Amino acid sequence: MMVYIQEKPENSAVVEHEYFGNELAAIAKLESVAWPRHPICPHCKHQGPVYDLSKTRIGLKKCRRCCRQFTVRIGTAVEASHLPLHKWLQAVYLLSAGVKPISAQQLQRTLDITYKSAWLTAKRIRKRTTSPH
Ligand SMILES: [Zn+2]
């Protein structure tokens, strides 16, 4: 994965991955983690080649068995979020262990999103990462 350093405002992450600033790269990253071999349809659990509808919407796929549409976001914590996936991945990175904890205000400035969105995102990610095993 390509990693680069860029000029950035205060309070921003030190190292940025390509998938932090690029929605296509972010989708590809999440797909490679969620689907190491073939996409898995969240509706019928079919695993295998799919119809690619990414011209309609980035990451959109159509199952060849049940013919329903899906993206890799379905079934993950990002599903209910309105944030672009690349901002979500950056938020996860900024809020995850090993990185100095940041506030919703810092998240808002770093990702250039609304405070409400930053607060909701932080809440969703913390709930996800601190849930009991
Ligand atoms: Zn299906």
Sorted by where each begins, the domain ranges of the chain are 1-34+77-128, 36-71
What is the whole-number distance in angstroms between the Cα of residue 21 and the centre of ligand 1? 31
What is the whole-number distance in angstroms between the Cα of residue 73 and the centre of ligand 1? 15
For the stretch 81-96, pLDDT in tens is 889 999 999 998 888 7
What is the whole-number distance in angstroms between the Cα of residue 67 and the centre of ligand 1? 6
5 class by beta-carbon count within 10 Å (0-12 exposed, 13-18 middle, 19+ buried): exposed
For the stretch 24-80, pLDDT in tens is 999 999 999 899 999 999 999 999 999 999 999 989 999 999 999 999 998 887 887
- What are the C-alpha distances in Å from 8 to residues 36, 80, 99, 109? 33, 29, 17, 11
What is the whole-number distance in angstroms between the Cα of residue 72 and the centre of ligand 1? 13
